[in-house]
Structures are given as C-alpha cells and as structure tokens.
C-alpha cells in the first residue's frame, strides 16, 4: 500500500515546534515502529489571503510511505496521536492520509490546485475526501487544517508543486559545484533551468546559505538560472524570490523586534524573512509582533 500523509495548521505564532517538525515525528515513528523508510517531506504553499488564519506561510507538509495493507489502521491511529499531542493548543490541526492505489487522483489534484487560487472551506475539504476516497480528520481547534492537509495530498500527487523540507545535508553552502556534481547528492535527482530544460553538467554554481529543492514532474529538482555576464555559471532561480520578496518596505537588518522562526520556516535571507513574527502577504511580509512585547 502506497500512502501519502499530510498535516497542516499544527502551530501558532509562538510555537516552538513547526508543522514540518511534527511531520518528521510521524516519519520517525513509522521508521521505528513499522521498519520502513518514508520519503522526504515536501512543503506546499497555499493561498495567501487576509481571510485565511494562517500563522506565517499557510503551508502544509506531506510525505509518502509504503506499508502492508494490514497496517493501515495502525498508522492512522499513531499519526493521529502524534498530531494531537504535538500540535500547539492554539492551533487548528488537520490530518489527511490517502492510499494512492485507491484515491481519485484527478479530483484530488484539482482540489489541491484550487486551494492555491481561492478561499476554500472545511465543507470543500470533506467533500473532496468523500469524492476522492481518503482519510481526513480535524484534531483540535476549529479543525481548519483539514483544508490544507487535503490540498497537500493533491499537490504532492500533481508533482509540480512544493519544495523539499530542509536543505541538501550532503552539500556545503558557499561551495562551488558543477551542476553534474549536484545530482550526486541524495537530495537532488536532477538540475533544470526555469523552463525545465537540461543544463550543461560541466557548468558551475555557488550554493547559497539555504538551497531549496523543488518537486518538478514528481522528481526532486534543483532549478537554476544563468548569472548575467558570467557564462557557464548559474544561480538558484530568483523568480519565486522576486515574487515573494517584492515589498521594498521590508526591514532586512537590525530590527529590535526580531526573533528567529523555527528552522524549517526560515528562508536563509535574514531579517524579517526569517522572523517568528512575520506573516506573508501577496507583496511581502507584515510584522505581527503585538505592541508592547519585547
């Protein structure tokens, strides 16, 4: 049995443990208890909108695992226990688990895409769970996390959305590699340019402090673009960065209100981008630290 497991909305603005860390707790439990190795975790960005009560990014965390069919009920129960125990008391957690051999992929992928475009409700989430045929449960608070948990399953199934949680641990930040060498990392399966084309394996790239690996055609892909004026040298694509960090009013350094966010939610760009109190908007970030604190 091939399963996708996704959680969302397990933290609050002041949580010490992020959703990705709880996803890792579930992965560790599965590895230790069931004796199998789950896949990498992917982070899926959902709609940024003032009416969505997310903490920082509005993202869900998803991973895959293969288990004997007779262990399904047990993994559901154990995942449920971890999410219930580890989620912040002020959060609204949701858990989704889909059997890839049984689920209606087309319907679920369409739902996941829609969650990136417009506001969705718990009613929508439970409707797609019934239609597509997968487990979905709210585990505290308002339970709105079921919306993103279901979306994360659909987006992971789609294969053209999400980034790997964390960074390639077998590559060194600041070091220059050939693009061919990058694929020797167990966290990077291929390197492509922003249009999905192959790049010369002998060309080079200097890795930044935090390297994001994307899910593209269901494969862990490092997406790069050429450095202007430096033939044969590439850099991580700035397309999404330009979109996300477009607000020139953001303070990058020296803010006395800064507090570091959990590692999985940091960008590596410093300042507001990595602060616990930021909230992403369509144009950048807003500071959410209450007046009078700190």
Summarize pLDDT for 168-186 with one digit per residue, the tens: 989 998 999 999 999 999 9
Instruction: Please determine, for residue 119, whether its predicted confidence score (pLDDT) is greater than 80.
Output: yes
Structure token digits, residue 276: 């616990």
Q: Pick left, alpha or beta for residue 282 (phi over 0 → left; psi -120 to 50 → alpha; otherwise beta).
A: alpha
Neighbours of 54 (CB within 10 A): 21
Contacts of 230 (CB under 8 A, 6+ apart): none
Cβ proximity of 107 and 58 under 8 Å: no
Cβ proximity of 59 and 7 under 8 Å: no
pTM of the prediction? Answer: 0.81
Q: Which residue is listed with tokens 């410093």?
A: 270
- The residue ranking higher by pLDDT, 240 or 118, is 118
Q: How far apart are CA 174 and CA 243, in angstroms?
A: 24
The average pLDDT across 136-144 equals: 94
- The residue ranking higher by pLDDT, 278 or 2, is 2
Neighbours of 160 (CB within 10 A): 13
The confidence score (pLDDT) of residue 251 equals 46
Domains of the chain: 2-163 (3.30.70.2200), 167-237 (no CATH), 240-294 (no CATH)
Q: How far apart are CA 41 and CA 21, in angstroms?
A: 10
Range of weakest confidence among 27-31, 200-204, 224-228:
224-228
The confidence score (pLDDT) of residue 5 equals 98
The confidence score (pLDDT) of residue 288 equals 62
Q: How far apart are CA 289 and CA 42, in angstroms?
A: 28
The average pLDDT across 67-79 equals: 96
Calculate the alpha carbon distances from 41 to 19, 50, 89, 155, 165 in Å. Answer: 11, 27, 24, 13, 5
The confidence score (pLDDT) of residue 245 equals 36
Q: Which residue is listed with tokens 């994001």?
A: 212
Cβ proximity of 283 and 246 under 8 Å: yes
Instruction: Please determine, for residue 55, whether its predicted confidence score (pLDDT) is greater than 70.
Output: no
Distance of CA 270 to the CA centre of its chain: 19
């Amino acid at each position: 049995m091939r399963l996708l497991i996704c959680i969302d909305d397990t933290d609050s603005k002041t949580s010490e443990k992020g959703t990705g860390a709880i996803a890792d707790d579930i992965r560790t439990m599965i590895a230790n208890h069931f004796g199998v190795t789950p896949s990498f975790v992917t982070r899926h960005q959902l709609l940024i909108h003032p009416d969505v009560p997310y903490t920082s990014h509005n993202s869900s965390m998803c991973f895959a695992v293969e288990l004997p069919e007779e262990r399904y009920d047990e993994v559901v129960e154990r995942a449920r226990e971890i999410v219930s125990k580890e989620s912040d008391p002020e959060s609204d957690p949701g858990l989704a688990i889909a059997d890839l051999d049984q689920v209606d992929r087309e319907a679920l992928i369409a739902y996941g895409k829609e969650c990136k475009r417009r506001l969705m409700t718990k009613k929508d989430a439970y409707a797609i769970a019934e239609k597509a045929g997968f487990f979905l449960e709210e585990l505290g608070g308002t339970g709105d996390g079921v919306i993103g948990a279901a979306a994360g399953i659909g987006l992971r199934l789609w294969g053209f959305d999400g980034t790997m949680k964390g960074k390639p641990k077998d590559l060194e930040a600041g070091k220059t590699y050939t693009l061919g060498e990058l694929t020797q990392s167990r966290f990077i399966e291929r390197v492509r340019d922003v249009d999905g084309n192959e790049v010369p394996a002998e060309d080079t790239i200097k890795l930044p402090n935090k390297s994001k690996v994307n899910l593209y055609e269901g494969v862990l892909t490092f997406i790069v673009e050429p450095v202007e004026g430096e033939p044969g040298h590439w850099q991580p694509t700035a397309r999404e960065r330009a979109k996300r960090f477009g607000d020139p009013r953001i303070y990058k350094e020296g803010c006395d209100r800064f507090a570091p966010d959990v590692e999985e939610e940091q960008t590596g760009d410093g300042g507001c981008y990595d602060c616990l109190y930021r909230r992403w908007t369509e144009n950048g970030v807003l500071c959410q630290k209450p007046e009078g604190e700190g």
